[in-house]
Chain A
Amino acid sequence: MSLRVVIAEDLYLLRDGLVHLLQAHGFEVVAAVESGPELLAALVSERPDVAVVDVRLPPTFTDEGLQAALAAREAVSGLPVLVLSQHVEQLYARELLADGSGAVGYLLKDRVFNAEQFVDAVRRVAAGGTAMDPEVIAKLLASTARHEPLGALTPREREVLELMAEGRSNAAISQRLFLSESAVGKHTAGIFGKLGLAPSDDDNRRVLAVLTYLNAARG
C-alpha cells in the first residue's frame, strides 16, 4: 500500500516538484496546499501517513507552517511531520522533538536535490523515526563541544553519533561509513556507555535518547 502524504509549500514550482517526486516514488499525494490554515484543515481531515511542510507559509509568512504542524500533532497525536526550511534552527528542532514521540523530520530544502535520500527521510518519518538535518546536528554538537562526556568520544564514535542523531539506522550508518553492521553496533554500545544512556535495540527510541541527551547537555 502506498503512503498517503500531504504537502504544504507556497512556491508553486517547488510544490509541483515535490508532488511529482513523491508520486514517482510511489507515494499518494492526498493534498497539496499553500497556506497554514489549509494545511491544518488538511492534516486533521485527511490524517495522512506523513506530511511534508514548509516552515514559512502564507498568510503571515512567519513560521505558519511549523505552528500548523505542531497544532496538528497536538490534535492527532504522533502525526508524522517532515518540516522543510531554507534555514535550520536548533530552536525549531527542539520544539519538534519536545513531545518525545518521534515521527518528526527537519531538513533543509536543499536536501530535496538528492531525491533518494530525501524519499528515504520521508519514509523514515512516516515509519515513526526521525530525520534531522546534518546541519542541525552539527550545530548541536558544536555548541555541546565543551561538554565532558562528549569530549571522551573517539573520532569514529563521533561520526557514528552524528549519523545516529540524524536518525539513521545501524544498517544505514554501516553503509555510509563503510563498516560492518556489527562494528557499528560496537561503536553505538561504546557511545551509550560513555554518555551513560541505557542501550536499546529499537532504532527510533535510540535516536530520541541521543537527541534528548544532546539537548539537555545544552542546558
Chain B
Amino acid sequence: MTIGRPLLQGAALGVLALADLVLIVPTLIGTALTALGFIFFFPPVTTVIRWRTGVARSLSGRWLDMRVRPSYMPPPPPPQPQADGWYRHDRHLYKTPWWPAWNNRWKWMFTDPATWRDMFWLLFNPVVGGVLLLLPVALVAYGLAMPWYWIPQAAPLGLAIAAAGVASAPWLLRFYAWWTRLLLSPTAASILAGHIRRLDQVRLETVDSQAAELRRIERDLHDGTQARLVAIGMMLGAVEELMDSDPTAAKVLLAKVREGSSTALIELRDLVKGIHPPVLAERGLGDAVRALALDSPLKVTVTVDLKKRLDAPVESAVYFSVSELLTNAARHGGAERVWIDISNRGRSLRVTVGDDGSGGADPARGSGLSGIERRLAAFDGVLALSSPPGGPTAATIDLPHVLPEPTLARPPLPRWKLAIVSVGWGLAWLPLFPQGIVTMIMKLVGADVRSWFLALYLPEPWQWPLIAFNIVLGLTLYGLALGIPIAHARRYPEAPNAGICAGAGR
C-alpha cells in the first residue's frame, strides 16, 4: 500500500495535469483577446484558473503534505454610494453599483501578480506534472511488460526498471509539490498586503474611537464645567456689586457659588473617571480592578497574578474591558457571583471574567462587546466569549506580548561546573599533547627516547591503549571546557533588549 500510494497519486495528478491542456486553450484565447481590448474575457478566464489552482492547492495539502495557502490580494470592498446616491469610479458616475464593482474586480484580478503566476503554473503544468508524475507509472508498466512481450531474457532488467519507477515516485512527487508551492504560495508582497490591510483597519478603528472619545470629552467640558464656571463668574460679579448695598443677598449668592463649584467638581470627577480612573493611575491594573469589584453590586472575586505594572495604554484598555464585562454580567446576565482572574503567561496577558448568570451573550448584538474588541484590537488582543443559553458565561481576553520582557540576568555558573571548566582549560593540554599525540609520534617513528612520556615506560601491550586514553581524555577535557559555558548560555538566554524594557517596565 505504502509503495503503491505515491504511484497512484502521481498517476492521478499526472492525468489531471495533462487534462489542463483543455484549460490552456481558452486561457490563451482569453488572454489574447484581453490584449486586443476585449477585457470582458479576462475575469471569467481568471476565475476558472483560480478554481483549478484552488484544486491543486488543496490536493497538495492533502496528498503531498505540503500546505499551500491562497496567494491573492484581498478582494476590493463593495462600492459605496456617494451622498447623492450615485456610484463613482474614476471620473464616471453610475446609477447602480454593478459597473464600479465590475471595474474594481477587473482591476483587482489584473494587477494581482498571483493571477499571472497562476497562469504560468497552468501553462507549464502539463509538461512538468504530466511528464514527471507519469514517468514512474510508465517505468513500472514498461519494466513489467517488456519481458513477456519482447525479450524474456531481460526479466531482471525489467524488474530493475520497475523498481526504479517505484523508488523514484515519492521523489518526483516531492519535486512536484515543490514546484506547485513555488508558484502558487503567497508571495511576500501578498502576505504583507494582508498584514497592512489588517493594521490599516485596526488603525482606522483606533483613530475613530479616539476621535469619538475626544468629542465626548469636549462636549462634557463644554456643556458642564465650562458653563458652570461661567455661571460662577457671573454670580461673583453680582456678589461684588451687592456686597455693600445688600450683604444678605450677597451671602445667599455666595452660598450658590459654593454649590456651583461643588457640582462642577463632581462633574469633573466623573469625567476624569471615564478618561482614566485615578485609582488605575495610582495603583495599576490589579487594584483598579479590585476597586471596580468593590463598587459592583455583585459578589466579585478577584485574583491577580502580575509582578509588574503594564504600560498605561494596555492597563487602560484592559480596565475598561473588564468594567464593561462586569456591567454586562450585572445588567444582562442576571449573575450573582463573578470571578475575575488576571495573570500572565510569559509576555502575554490573560484576563478571564466568568459569571453564574443566564448566559446567551452575543458579540454580534451587544455594542459593548464589539467596543471591547475594538479597544483590544489596538494591541492585537482578542476577546473569546463562551456564553451558552442558560449560562455560565466566560469571557477571556488575550493580549500577546504586552508585558515587559523578562529582565532575568543570567545566573553565574555553579561552582563545580566552573571547576571543571578551569581544570579543562588548565590541564587538557597535558594528556592531549605531550602524553598523547607526541608520544604517539615518538612511538610511530620508533625513537629511543622515553623522557617523561609515561606510556613508553609501560610494557608493550599497554602502550597504545594508554596513548589512546590520553588523547581521548585531553579531547574530553577541552570539550567540557568549551561545552559547559555554551550549554549554560543556551539554557538562560538573555533578552536582547533587556535594558530598554527594564526602563520602560518600571
Contacts and interface: CB of A to CB of B under 8 A. Distances in A.
Interface of A: 55-56, 61-63, 85-87, 89-92, 94, 109-110, 113, 139, 142-143, 145-146, 218-219
A93 to B, nearest CB: 9
Contacts of B266: 110
A87 B283 contact: no
Contact of A91 (B261, B265, B287): B287
A90 B261 contact: no
B297 A145 contact: yes
Interface string B351-385: 00000000000000000000000000000000000
Interface stretch (B112-120, B137-145, B201-209, B271-279): B271-279
B348 interface: no
A110 B265 CA distance: 8
Given A113-B258, A142-B297, A143-B295, 8 more contacts: A61-B281, A62-B283, A63-B282, A91-B279, A91-B294, A92-B279, A143-B297, A145-B297
Interface string B398-417: 00000000000000000000
B215 to A, nearest CB: 24
A62 B282 contact: yes
Nearest to A143: B297
11 contacts: A56-B282, A63-B282, A86-B269, A86-B278, A87-B278, A89-B291, A90-B295, A110-B262, A139-B294, A143-B295, A218-B294
A92 B161 CA distance: 87
- Shortest 3 CB-CB distances between A and B: which pairs? A90-B294, A63-B282, A91-B291
Interface residues of B, number: 21
B297 A146 contact: yes
A109 to B, nearest CB: 8
B265 A89 contact: no
Contact of A63 (B272, B283, B295): B283
B269 A87 contact: yes
Interface in B336-352: none
Interface string B280-295: 0111000100110011
B290 A219 contact: no
B299 interface: yes
Interface string B233-265: 000000000000000000000000010011001
B296 interface: yes
Contacts of B296: 143
Nearest to A114: B258
B282 A219 contact: no
Nearest to A109: B265
Contacts of A110: 262, 265-266
Nearest to A56: B282
A85 B265 CA distance: 12
Contacts of B273: 87
A95 to B, nearest CB: 10
B310 to A, nearest CB: 15
Contacts of A61: 281
Contacts of A55: 282
Contacts of B297: 142-143, 145-146
Contacts of B272: 86-87
Contacts of A146: 297
B295 A139 contact: yes
A87 B279 contact: yes
Interface in B450-472: none
B262 A89 contact: no
B291 A90 contact: yes
A141 B360 CA distance: 30
Contacts of A94: 294
A85 B295 CA distance: 17
Contacts of A86: 269, 272, 278
B160 to A, nearest CB: 83
B299 to A, nearest CB: 5
B286 to A, nearest CB: 11
Contacts of A62: 281-283
A4 B272 CA distance: 35
A145 B295 CA distance: 11
Nearest to B279: A89
A166 to B, nearest CB: 17
Interface in B438-486: none
Contacts of B294: 89-91, 94, 139, 143, 218
A13 B314 CA distance: 35
A139 to B, nearest CB: 6
Output the residue of B272, B279, B287, B296 with the most chain A CB within 10 A: B279
A91 B290 contact: yes
Contacts of A142: 295, 297
A86 B268 CA distance: 10
Contacts of B265: 109-110
A218 B295 CA distance: 9
A68 to B, nearest CB: 13
A219 B258 contact: no
A146 B300 CA distance: 14
Contacts of B279: 87, 89, 91-92
Contacts of B283: 62-63, 91
Nearest to B287: A91
Contacts of B281: 61-62
A67 B279 CA distance: 13
A218 B294 CA distance: 7
Contacts of A90: 291, 294-295
B106 to A, nearest CB: 59
Nearest to B262: A110
A145 B296 CA distance: 11
A142 B297 CA distance: 7
A219 B266 CA distance: 29
Given A62-B282, A87-B269, A87-B272, A219 B299 contact: yes
Nearest to B269: A87
B350 to A, nearest CB: 23
A118 B297 CA distance: 30
Nearest to A139: B295
Contacts of B278: 56, 85-87
A63 B297 CA distance: 26
A110 B266 CA distance: 9
